[in-house]
Amino acid sequence: MKIAIVIPSAAFAQSAGARIRYQRIIDAAARGTIEMIPLEAAATSDADAFLFSKTYQSAAPALAYSLAAKGKRVALDIFDDYFSDTADTRMARFRHWFDEMARAVHHVTVSTPALAARLAPRLATPPTVIADPAAPLAPEPLAERLAETAARIDPDALDLLWFGIASNPYFEAGLADLAAFAPSLAPRGSRHRLTVLTNATGASEAALAALSNAPVPITWEAWSEAREAALLATADVAILPVGYGPFSTAKSLNRATTALAAGAQVLSLGPPLYAPLDRFLYRRIDDLTDDARLGRLHHRASRAAWFTATLGRLASGEDGARRLLAIFEAIRPTPLPPHIVIAGSGVEADLLAASGALILGFEEPADILVGNRIQLHGRAAERLGVTLVDPATRGLPTPPPLSGHGVVDLVRTRARFTAARRIAEALLPDHTVFLAHDGIVAP
Amino acid sequence: MSEADGGAGASARLTIDAVREGRADGWAHGPEGTRLYLRVNGDPVASWPRTVARPDVDAAVGDTRSEETREAKGFAFPLGAVAGLLALTPSGRRPNAALTFGEARHAIAPGAPGRTLTTLGHAITDLWLADSRHLRLRTDGRLRRVILVQADQRVFRAEAVCPAREAIVTLRIADPMAPILLLLETDAGAEADLVPFPSLLRGGPHAAETLATAGGDEGLPGLSTTLSARLLARTHPRRLAPADDWSQTQALGDPLLKRFILEHGSLADDASALPALPLVKGEIPTLAALCGPASGTIAVDPSPGGETWLVASATNAALLDAMPRPSPVPLAPEALAAPATIATRIVRDEGLDPLLFPLPADTPFTEAAPFRLAILPGAEREDALLESLAGTPFERVDETAIVALAADTRPVLFADPAILFHDRRTIAALTRLAGVERVASAGAMLIAEPAEGQTSAHDRVRSAGLFPTHAAVDAPWRPSVGPVPVSRLLPRATYLVAANDPALVIVSQAGLAVGDGLDWTMDEALPQLLARASAGGLAHVATTWFSAFDRGASVRPGPAPAFTMPAAGPVSLVRRLV
């Protein structure tokens, strides 16, 4: 079976998420069986199965549905929680996207048990967990590195390292988490130093201000993959603070496995996100310094083999590839009715067209153009045998035109979608209806 | 008078004659050059000279040297500061302390500290927390040396020598929540001071409590003194009722803050006369709340330039039931004197969507109850208003005599034609609120078109509810009534307010019934109606769960001055501190 991981753009393949989650699964699978393709290539791909990831384009649900309708096996993979906090207005369009995607695909996979538990109530069948894989690791070099660290470490003056993306566009994360937990990095009598390795331009003013009050001296460095590897290889302790928001607490073990695999001690602060690795990490810096004095660090040379075995159990690329294959093999595609998409604002017309959907819209090009009259073109006209429908004679509503005033149009968009749905259901009652709209929909 | 407890048969003698206002006067006799030592857990943390001449003692101890060669034997020791340090340290971690002179030893018992922070404004001109592990003080040059002592089973001591000019001195601390003893050496002699609650200092987690309550003559020293006396005098720890997710917040990222709260509050049922203090996510109790009665919340935005508000919310069970996800808040008669909680909320400009839909658009809410609509005279066309109300159960009214409208049970929604309901649930909420007993009127948040100088989305939002408010840090409380900008800093709630903005207000049948002689098409009619309703003991409520858009806010004059602080009934108080 040939599997395509559908990503939002070709550039996304270089992102940390794609490299960590998908490239490692691809590397562990039989050569040539899994590849990443951008969304625009999905409709013409010869793959047998498709895993959609982060394709937040509003046309993606229609495209996924069209692949399923063609008999392909289609799944959705989620590794960031933009969907479970129903109190967050900003994420309403993501929740709409998720619900539409969930209707379009056969199955949903997630990166963590926490995500699975949160998303299950929104799904007909429970999601399957595929953990973020860790890079392959041999115990011997790790043991050597751990022995070096143990010999060198000064419990009163630790080299602390925080690495990662400075901030998230939607959530308090990154440096904000570090700032919140920074006070606990300076127990009395200590002379610890902290290196922050990040894209500092992305740091919020508030996080920087908070961090300027951190009670440890800080050295800033610009992040790069190479620099991260170099500093992880020399730091005593990687600090992994976790925020309490739903976004942060659904994250994978990846940061902890990366740091531990590089031979650093790990101090996990905040919610116990990394609990499956508890035997190898610390929750309090005092425990770490006490153990360092005794020469009995949790992550030490004599445990290197145990750690690599644990890593193989918790975060294996081979296991991820096997699970993915098993999920797709279990899917039995069934015939689906044709679909119609109500095109709202910000929708990618070419992607919608590639999905083979009938497009019901308020402006050209649309197969069903709604306004004071309903004009039908091409396949829509063929299916219904007419080219023009007067809404009044069929008892159908007329959608109001947009005014150009944002809030007035919020009201009108609600009325337009309500009208469009009634028209779609009246004209094509055997079709599945999707709403592709890249904005908020007023209740 | 007390004799030193270790002095029997020894060559050194130590006697304390009297203790006045925290200062112990005494004398000590022993080998030449011996100094007094303050020892905590046996460790010397500071030495004290004898500087007071005591001729009465000299004869008693048989000192026959001349006045020129004779050592002074008397001393004054700040016993209260040390006793207060011990008393304010939880018993499980409390050290022992003693004043020693040679082998002689006077044990110091925990006790009331008396006045605290007495040197602030004298030897120390300013004092703040640089971060959670560093205390910073500014001196005017008269301070020569400062020793800092904290005790947490082990003794923590830090020392700094101060230059003879105005200077800023930084001292490391072990715990920003634990009392700090400062031993100062000045030109005038030795002094000691107690910082009972460093967290009240600028930069500390309770700094907003200082801002909210220390505006009077007493200032921070007065607040510290009062709170330490109240904490030591209380008979039970304050019972806390934290929400399940209370501690799941970055505000408690410093484990010492969480430990302090749990050491000074109780999660168990006990005999405390005070009700349990509810703590929601992101809130910490004020020190006042840990000591006694308090209510209301200080909302703090920790961002640079962020605001601080004191919110004393009044509401009742019927109102809470009418709204989504109620968050109960106690009534707050004493809130201005003693706020109960400090809530940290990072307010980012997230655009207009979260303000247009404070309750997310995909959250279900009930449908509107039938109502009547009265469109006020205004500059805008009414088409958009009517369009936005399409599908809701309303009937337009032409009758202009308000009292005549009271014949019908359906409430009347008075709206300027510039109002636009982008969220149908706003109508549902207003009609539900107007149905609550003894409610005269209800309003929601209003979002205006952007005006010059309004740089963030929050600038454009205010509440239709008029709050009693006065925005000043240290001026006395003078109630006046006005609109407040509603940002995310104000907890989402339904507030009892003094009145509502006539641009958008729904009036219940009970509210309409007091409108005798008023015609709603006339200027001032609605303000007068709302004022009458208040005087008659009816309530006005405003919700921040929902909003409406006001296209005419920038051209319409503000609410009429007919509103005054209502004499009857509780109202929510809002006061901007920073």
**HEC profile for A46-68?**
CCCEEEEECCCCCCHHHHHHHHH
End-to-end CA distance of chain B, in Å?
Answer: 50
Residue A58 inside a domain? The answer is yes
End-to-end CA distance of chain A, in Å?
Answer: 43
Residue A56 inside a domain? The answer is yes
Which of the four pLDDT bands, split at 50, 70 and 90, describes residue B6? Answer: very low
Residue B10, pLDDT above cutoff 70: no
Q: What is the mean pLDDT of chain B?
A: 87
Alpha-carbon distances of A415 from A418, A441, B178, B222, B387, rounded to whole Å: 5, 10, 60, 61, 10
B-contacting residues of A 69-128, CB under 8 Å? 86-90, 92, 95-96
Which of the four pLDDT bands, split at 50, 70 and 90, describes residue B490? Answer: confident
What is the reported pLDDT for B364? Answer: 86
User: Measured between CA atoms, how close is B477 to chain A, in angstroms?
Assistant: 31
Chain B environment of A98 (Cβ under 8 Å): none
Which of the four pLDDT bands, split at 50, 70 and 90, describes residue B7? Answer: very low
Task: Determine contact: B547 vs chain A, CB below 8 A.
Answer: no
Alpha-carbon distances of B27 from B15, B57, B69, B113, rounded to whole Å: 5, 8, 17, 22
Q: What is the mean pLDDT of residues B401-416?
A: 97
Task: Determine contact: A241 vs chain B, CB below 8 A.
Answer: yes
Residue B333, pLDDT above cutoff 80: no
A89 and B357 in contact by Cβ < 8 A?
yes
Query: Is the alpha carbon torsion for A218, A223, A228, A234 positive or negative?
Result: negative
Instruction: Give B81 or B1, the one with higher predicted confidence.
Output: B81
Q: What is the mean pLDDT of residues B5-28?
A: 78
A244 and B249 in contact by Cβ < 8 A?
yes
Asked if residue A15 and residue A121 are part of one domain, the reply reads yes
Which of the four pLDDT bands, split at 50, 70 and 90, describes residue B562? Answer: low
Residue A209 inside a domain? The answer is yes
Q: What is the dihedral of CA B488, B494, B495, B497, to 10 degrees?
A: 110
Asked if residue A146 and residue A126 are part of one domain, the reply reads no
Asked if residue A242 and residue A183 are part of one domain, the reply reads yes
Residue A90, pLDDT above cutoff 80: yes
CA angle B408, B413, B414 (to 5 degrees): 115
A411 and B388 in contact by Cβ < 8 A?
yes
Sheet holding A388-389, edge to edge: A388-389, A374-376, A368-370, A358-361, A339-343, A432-436
Asked if residue A223 and residue A76 are part of one domain, the reply reads no
Chain B environment of A176 (Cβ under 8 Å): 250, 346
Q: Which CATH number characterizes residue A263's domain?
A: 3.40.50.2000
What is the reported pLDDT for B9? Answer: 42
Measure the CA–CA gap between A369 and A349, rounded to whole angstroms: 14
Instruction: Give A409 or B4, the one with higher predicted confidence.
Output: A409
CA angle A396, A401, A407 (to 5 degrees): 120
Number of domains into which chain A is organized: 3
Q: What is the mean pLDDT of residues B262-287?
A: 85
Query: Is the alpha carbon torsion for B369, B375, B380, B381 positive or negative?
Result: positive
Asked if residue A351 and residue A270 are part of one domain, the reply reads no
Which residues partner with B374 through β-bridges? B414
Chain B environment of A186 (Cβ under 8 Å): 132-133
- The single-letter code of the amino acid at B69 is T
Which of the four pLDDT bands, split at 50, 70 and 90, describes residue B563? Answer: low
Query: Is the alpha carbon torsion for B553, B555, B557, B558 positive or negative?
Result: positive
Task: Determine contact: B130 vs chain A, CB below 8 A.
Answer: yes
Q: What is the mean pLDDT of residues A397-402?
A: 94
Q: What percentage of chain B exceeds 70 in pLDDT?
A: 90
Measure the CA–CA gap between A397 and A415, rounded to whole angstroms: 9
Q: What is the mean pLDDT of residues A291-305?
A: 96
Written as six digits, the tokens of B317 are 């069970």
Q: What is the dihedral of CA A337, A340, A341, A342, to 10 degrees?
A: -140
Strands B154-161 and B143-152, how do they pair? antiparallel
- Candidates A90, A186, A441; nearest CB to B350: A90
Measure the CA–CA gap between A23 and A6, rounded to whole angstroms: 13
* A188, A218, A435: best to mutate for the B interface, most B CBs within 10 A: A188
Residue A147, pLDDT above cutoff 90: yes
Q: What is the mean pLDDT of residues A141-149?
A: 94
Q: What percentage of chain A exceeds 90 in pLDDT?
A: 83
Asked if residue A158 and residue A293 are part of one domain, the reply reads yes
What is the reported pLDDT for B564? Answer: 60
What is the reported pLDDT for B8? Answer: 39
User: Measured between CA atoms, how close is A259 to chain B, in angstroms?
Assistant: 22
Chain A environment of B156 (Cβ under 8 Å): 188
A183 and B421 in contact by Cβ < 8 A?
no
Where on the phi/psi map is residue A248: left (φ > 0), alpha (ψ -120 to 50), or beta? alpha
- What phi, psi does A150 have (nearest 5°)? -60, -35
Look-up of token digits 């008999």: A71
Residue A344 inside a domain? The answer is yes
Asked if residue A290 and residue A145 are part of one domain, the reply reads yes
Task: Give me the helix-helix angle, B219-233 and B79-88, nearest 10°.
Answer: 60
- The single-letter code of the amino acid at B485 is P
Asked if residue A248 and residue A359 are part of one domain, the reply reads no
Chain B environment of A206 (Cβ under 8 Å): 302-304, 306, 346, 348
Asked if residue A322 and residue A278 are part of one domain, the reply reads no
Residue A311 inside a domain? The answer is no
Task: Determine contact: A400 vs chain B, CB below 8 A.
Answer: yes
Chain A environment of B303 (Cβ under 8 Å): 205-206, 209
Measure the CA–CA gap between A373 and A357, rounded to whole angstroms: 21
Asked if residue A258 and residue A218 are part of one domain, the reply reads yes
Residue A19 inside a domain? The answer is yes
What is the reported pLDDT for B3? Answer: 47
What is the reported pLDDT for A161? Answer: 98
Which of the four pLDDT bands, split at 50, 70 and 90, describes residue B305? Answer: confident
Least confident of A80-94, A167-181, B421-435: A167-181
Domain residues for the domain of A107 are: 1-133+316-335
Q: What is the mean pLDDT of residues B273-278?
A: 83
What is the reported pLDDT for A245? Answer: 86
Chain A environment of B421 (Cβ under 8 Å): 411
Going along chain B from its start, the domains and CATH numbers come out as 2-108 (2.60.40), 124-207 (2.60.40.10), 226-342 (no CATH), 349-576 (3.90.550)
Residue A310 inside a domain? The answer is no
Q: Which of B260, B259, B295, B243 is nearest to B274 (CA)?
A: B295
Q: Which of A355, A398, A363, A401 is nearest to A379 (CA)?
A: A355
Q: Which of A85, A34, A57 is nearest to A324 (CA)?
A: A34
Q: What is the mean pLDDT of residues A110-117?
A: 96
Written as six digits, the tokens of B372 are 């009547």
> 3-state SS string over B395-431?
EECCCCEHHHHCCCCCCEEEECCCEECCCHHHHHHHH
Asked if residue A241 and residue A146 are part of one domain, the reply reads yes
Task: Determine contact: B134 vs chain A, CB below 8 A.
Answer: yes
Alpha-carbon distances of A386 from A379, A381, A443, B213, rounded to whole Å: 11, 5, 33, 75
Measure the CA–CA gap between B58 and B137, rounded to whole angstroms: 40
- Candidates A86, A176, A408; nearest CB to B363: A86
Asked if residue A272 and residue A167 are part of one domain, the reply reads yes
- Measured in whole angstroms, how far is the alpha carbon of residue B106 from the centre of its chain? 40
A410 and B172 in contact by Cβ < 8 A?
no
B-contacting residues of A 194-223, CB under 8 Å? 204-206, 209-210, 213-215
Q: Residues near B255 by Cβ (< 8 Å), separated by ≥ 6?
A: A184, A284
